Each structure stands twice: as C-alpha cells, then as structure tokens.
C-alpha cells in the first residue's frame, strides 16, 4: 500500500515559481537559481523513475510505502527520506541519487566524488552519512514506541550508465534495475515477523503524524518579482488581464477562469501563505475589490480576522 505519494519538495515548487517571476535581466541571480532548479528537478525526476518500479515488484508481505517523507527531529533539524518501505519484518530507508559519471565514496573524508566523462572531478554530500542519520532518527522513534524492528538502508543510483566505483563495505548501493533483487535479499534475511499487524499500524500512524514538509523561501526581495497572472500558453512571457470573470492573455488571446490559481500558489511559495484582499488585488492586477471577494468566496479558503483585516490562507495545492 502506498500511503504517502511522491511530492515535489517545497524548494522545487518555490524554484519553479521563482523562475516564472524573477526577471532575467540580472543574469547572475537568475542563473544561480536556475542551476539550483535544474539540480532539484533532476533529483525529483530520478525519484519518480524509481517509483514506477515499485508497481512491478513482487512483495510477498504486507507493506506500506512512504515517498517524500519529511520530519523534524528533537533538535529542530529536518529529515528528508526519499522512500520508506515498512513491513512486519523490517523497515527499509532508501536514498535515491540521479548522478552520472563514476561515483566513488571516500569513507575517511566522508565525501562523494563524481568524475564525469570529461574527467572533471566534483565533490558532493556523502549519501551514506545522510541515510545513516535518517536511520538513527527512525530507530529512535521505534524505541520510543517499544517496537523492535530491524532498520535497513540503501542508496539507489538511477542511471544504469553511472559507474559505481569504490564504496564502503557493508553499504548497500546499487542501480535501480536491481531493486527487486535487493528487496529479495532483505526478505530472505528477515524471514521472521518482527511486529504484529497492530504494531505495524501504530508505527504507520506515528510516521504520518510526524510527517511535516520543510518550507523553503528564496532570499530574493519580493519587490523584484513580476506580478500578475502569467500566461502559461506564452511560456509565462505575457500578462493576462481580468475581463468579465475570466483572465485573457494580452498576447495570444487565450482565456481562462482559473489561471489565477497558479499565481496564488506562486505567492504562497515566494512570499507568504497568508494574503489579504488588497494584497491579492495588487498581485493579480485586478482593481475590483468585489471581483476578488467573489474569487475568494468561490475558493472557500481558510481565513482569520474580521471583515476589514481579514487574511486568507493559500493551500499547498488547489487539486
């Protein structure tokens, strides 16, 4: 059972919104965030490609899958675990890396070294340290609930063309194509059930209760951002104006009643999850307070405050 579906991180969503709204006349700033976006998107695409494999796997035991699991530990620091497989026999934490070239892990220096096809050598954060840190967090949660369940960790390399070079002994690092084989090894290793169905449900609910997405905001001053409802059909290069209950692109002429929802999401990820009628009018470029009131009523958003100082909470998604 897949209980937690793959989600784009708050950072990836924020970067997508930022690249729509940030003018490119300051190329150094624009390219800085574009490079950050490319790296985040590549990682997310790699995670999605591995997710598809789970649908074809033979898993001969009850299980629960958590994708894009995020939680905050007792010290206030975030854990972002790509995939968790919870079974009555073991719990498996997986880190997914979408990196090409040759990968070597220097255990003494705690770094991942990538050598690309041109021979360029780059250093990355060590995924072994990352996944071990996550395992300590999950093991602590198990102990708190007095549940004795083995914790296994692995690092999956997405591309079959990536060369896995020197890696520490005892660490499970493999290509995505080996997912079924590595799962079979763990099932054979842990034949006995470690927990009851009730304990499985208890820990499943515990993980869901502590799941909390890590918010991210860029350091870009909001005054730099382009305002208005941007036309997706024109690759966000043009503005849409509000006419007779719809937004119409000044360039291509396309009309949409809900194009403003993406602008509203951009505001949440880049500025604030709370917005007033006045702030929304200014951001969307709609002068009529009445028209904005009607849009807000249709959305049925959570709100705080009285009529004059009321502010509305923008949800993470309008789906």
| In a domain? residue 222 | no
Same domain membership, residue 200 and residue 137: yes
Same domain membership, residue 158 and residue 95: yes
Residue 170 has a pLDDT of 84
Provide the token pair at 214.
Answer: 């890590």
Domain count, the chain: 2
Same domain membership, residue 263 and residue 137: no
Provide the token pair at 262.
Answer: 């993406």
What pLDDT, in 10s, does the model give residues 228-268? 999 999 999 999 999 988 999 999 999 999 999 999 999 99
Same domain membership, residue 252 and residue 206: no
Residue 113 has a pLDDT of 93
Contacts of 76 (CB under 8 A, 6+ apart): none
| In a domain? residue 318 | no
Q: What is the extent of the structural domain holding 191? A: 2-210
3-state SS record for 92-134: EEEEEECCCCEEEEECCCCEEEEECCCCCEEEEECHHHHHHHH
| In a domain? residue 147 | yes
Same domain membership, residue 232 and residue 189: no
Same domain membership, residue 236 and residue 189: no
Contacts of 83 (CB under 8 A, 6+ apart): 47, 50, 51, 65, 66, 67, 69, 93, 94, 96
| In a domain? residue 221 | no
Same domain membership, residue 77 and residue 203: yes
| In a domain? residue 215 | no
CB atoms within 10 A of CB 14: 23
Residue 109 has a pLDDT of 85
Name the β-bridge partners of 124.
Answer: 112
Q: Which of 144, 176, 210 is the last residue of a domain?
A: 210
| In a domain? residue 219 | no
Task: For residues 204 and 173, give the distance between their C-alpha atoms in angstroms, rounded to a whole number.
Answer: 26
Q: Which of 164, 181, 210 is the last residue of a domain?
A: 210
What pLDDT, in 10s, does the model give residues 100-129? 999 999 888 888 999 988 889 998 889 999
The pLDDT of residue 307 is above 80 = no
What pLDDT, in 10s, does the model give residues 24-80? 888 899 999 999 999 999 999 999 999 999 989 999 999 999 999 999 998 999 999
Contacts of 160 (CB under 8 A, 6+ apart): 175, 176, 177
Q: How many helices (H) and strands (E) does the chain have?
A: 8, 17
CB atoms within 10 A of CB 294: 12
Is residue 125 within 8 Å of 97, Cβ to Cβ?
no
Q: Which of 48, 56, 121, 134 is nearest to 91 (CA)?
A: 134
Same domain membership, residue 237 and residue 155: no
The CATH number that applies at residue 267 is: 1.10.10
Same domain membership, residue 191 and residue 287: no
Beta pairing class for 78-86 and 91-97: antiparallel
Is residue 244 within 8 Å of 286, Cβ to Cβ?
no
Q: Which of 181, 210, 239 is the last residue of a domain?
A: 210
Angstrom CA distances, 185 to 16, 58, 178, 179, 190, stand at: 39, 13, 11, 10, 9
Average pLDDT in the chain? 93
| In a domain? residue 256 | yes
Higher pLDDT, 308 or 295: 295
The pLDDT of residue 3 is above 90 = no
199 SS3 class: helix
| In a domain? residue 319 | no
Same domain membership, residue 271 and residue 162: no
Residue 315 has a pLDDT of 93
Is residue 111 within 8 Å of 123, Cβ to Cβ?
yes
Residue 107 has a pLDDT of 83
Residue 291: exposed, middle, or buried by beta-carbon count in 10 A (0-12, 13-18, 19+)? middle
What pLDDT, in 10s, does the model give residues 133-164? 999 999 999 999 999 999 999 999 999 999 99
Same domain membership, residue 114 and residue 235: no
Same domain membership, residue 262 and residue 206: no
Is residue 157 within 8 Å of 173, Cβ to Cβ?
yes
């Amino acid at each position: 059972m897949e209980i937690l579906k793959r989600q784009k991180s708050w950072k990836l969503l924020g970067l997508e919104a930022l690249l729509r709204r940030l003018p490119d006349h300051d190329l150094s700033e624009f390219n800085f965030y574009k490079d950050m976006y490319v790296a985040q998107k590549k990682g997310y695409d790699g995670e999605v490609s591995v997710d598809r494999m789970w649908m074809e796997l033979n898993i001969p035991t009850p299980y629960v899958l958590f994708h894009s699991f995020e939680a905050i530990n007792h010290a206030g620091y975030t854990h972002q675990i790509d995939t968790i497989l919870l079974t009555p026999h073991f719990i498996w934490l997986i880190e997914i890396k979408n990196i090409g070239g040759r990968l070597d892990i220097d255990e003494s220096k705690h770094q991942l070294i990538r050598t690309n096809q041109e021979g360029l050598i780059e250093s990355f954060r060590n995924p072994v340290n990352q996944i071990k840190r996550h395992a300590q967090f999950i093991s602590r949660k198990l102990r708190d609930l007095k549940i004795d369940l083995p914790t296994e960790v692995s690092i999956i390399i997405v591309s079959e063309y990536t060369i896995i070079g020197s890696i520490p002994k005892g660490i499970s690092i493999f290509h995505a194509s080996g997912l079924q084989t590595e799962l079979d090894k763990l099932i054979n290793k842990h034949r006995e059930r470690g927990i009851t169905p009730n304990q499985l449900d208890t820990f499943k609910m515990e993980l869901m209760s502590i799941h909390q997405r890590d918010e991210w905001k860029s350091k870009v001053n909001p005054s730099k951002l382009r305002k208005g409802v941007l036309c997706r059909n024109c690759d966000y290069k043009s503005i849409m104006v509000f006419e007779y209950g719809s937004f119409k692109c000044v360039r291509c002429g396309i009309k949409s009643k809900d194009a403003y929802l993406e602008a509203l999401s951009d505001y949440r990820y880049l500025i604030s999850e709370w917005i007033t009628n006045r702030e929304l009018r200014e951001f969307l470029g709609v002068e009529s307070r009445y028209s904005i009131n009607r849009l807000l009523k249709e959305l049925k958003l959570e709100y705080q405050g009285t009529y004059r100082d009321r502010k509305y909470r923008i949800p993470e998604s309008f789906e």
